[in-house]
Structure 1
Amino acid sequence: MNTIILDLETKFTFDEVGGRDKFESLGISVAGVFDYLTGKYEAIEEKDIAKLEERLQSKPLVIGFNSKKFDMPVLKPYLHFDPSALPQLDIMEEIQNVVGHRIGLEAVAQATLGKGKSGSGLDAIRYFRDGAIDKLKKYCLDDVKVTKEVFEYGCKNKEVFFTSKFGGGRVCVPVNWQMENEEEKKDQLALF
């Protein structure tokens, strides 16, 4: 299955680079990937980002959480092609399209899986600045694992959940995600 789960961590915050439209200035500290072709997780440091670019050239379905509006714009300056052209499933966008507002990965993971993230993006920036690269990689791959588990839960159960911050507890969100089969893979590759 030509599909990956992707999450990026950055070197800087939006405040530090002059605003929410300065994606190209955030810098990648580490990219976390789960590759369904190999069944392996990998943390890729900025200096090795060409390895990620090579994998992306096979045009996998890229699954992420807020990946269209965050990860892809941050990744774009590192690549020789526009990553927004890749086939994508952005879990946050899918949920937002149903409920009408953004929901964080923590709220989805807690309500769907009964467990949450291992920290926040600010923790990742701190790990990077402190030179705690092993902690940074672990944090990023933990997010990849949670995203993967939410995606697979949605494929199997045709629904995911989130905890509403407006009261009302656990909210069900119907989804129509599926694991790619070989025929879909051939169709997807024929598009390019």
Structure 2
Amino acid sequence: MITEVFFDVETKKLFSEIDKFDPADLGVSIVSLYRRILDENYIEKEGKLMSFWEADFQKLWPIFQEANRIIGFNSINFDVPALEPYTNFPIKKLPHFDIMAKVKDVFGRRISLDSISKETLGREKSDIGVNAVLYWQTGGKENLKKLQRYCDDDVIITKELYDFVLKNGYLHFKDKWNTQRRVDLDFSYPKEKSQKQIGLF
């Protein structure tokens, strides 16, 4: 069996509110994740969406540490360093898989989650990151519900894009000239590595 974790982080501050461009200084308000188990044919056997506020972050780390692949979008340069101050282990050394980084490696530049989602899945993000910070800073039950919903939605979009590539081998997006582009990608596990991982369970 293979364990995959899709995750997204929302922060307490914007970069304009801190002294340097370091995600570790932003503070994390909430982490949402989807954990799933795949069989040897990479078919999902079970999965669960979960959200964690700061008081429960310690419950995150065993979930991350047991995963064969931790999937995010701009996670290596943003989500992971934002979480680092909350950990007592080298979270950067875990098996991270950053969809934005994979697209950039092929296309040569960063493409937003919203752009890829609209052209590939036909759906937009439910909100924007600035509002997520404002929901946290304003507080209140309804704002925190909106924050959690937004974070959850980004996780689901990330999962759907990942699964789309596994099935179809490409993503669509529009470039700065509003022209639809296609980028071919391979998200499959390296054959020898995946066989070794499956054998461990």
Q: TM-score, normalised by structure 2?
A: 0.87
**Are 1:5 and 1:35, in contact at CA under 8 Å, matched by a contact in 2?**
yes
1:161 partnered with 2:166: no
CA contact (8 A) 2:72 2:97 kept: yes
After superposing the two structures, state which structure 1 stretch, 55-64 or 151-160, moved more: 55-64
Q: Does the alignment pair 1:171 with 2:171? A: no
SS in 2 for 1:39: strand
Q: What residue is the counterpart of 1:32 in the other structure?
A: 32
For residue 86 of structure 2, what is the aligned residue in structure 1?
78
Structure 2 Cα separation of the partners of residues 150 and 179 of structure 1: 16
Whether the 8 Å contact between 2:5 and 2:64 is mirrored in structure 1 is no
Matching of residue 187 in structure 1 with residue 197 in structure 2: yes
Are residues 1:149 and 2:160 paired?
yes
Question: Which stretches of structure 1, 4 residues or longer, exceed 4 Å deviation after superposition?
Answer: none
In structure 2, the CA distance between the partners of 1:34 and 1:59, relative to structure 1 (3 Å rule), is closer
Structure 1 match to 2:42: none
The alpha-carbon distance between structure 1 residues 41 and 175, as it changes in their structure 2 partners (threshold 3 A), is same
Consecutive unaligned residues in structure 1, runs of 5 or more: none
> C-alpha distance in 1, partners of 2:103/2:182?
10
The percentage of aligned residue pairs carrying the same residue is 34
Structure 1 position 5 matched with structure 2 position 6: yes
* 1:44 positional shift: 0.6
| SS of equivalent residue, structure 2 residue 124 | coil
Supply the RMSD in Å over aligned alpha carbons: 2.0
Go from structure 1 to structure 2 and tell me whether the alpha carbon gap of 1:40 and 1:165 turns closer, same or farther (over 3 Å shift): same
CA contact 1:110–1:163 (8 Å) conserved in 2: no
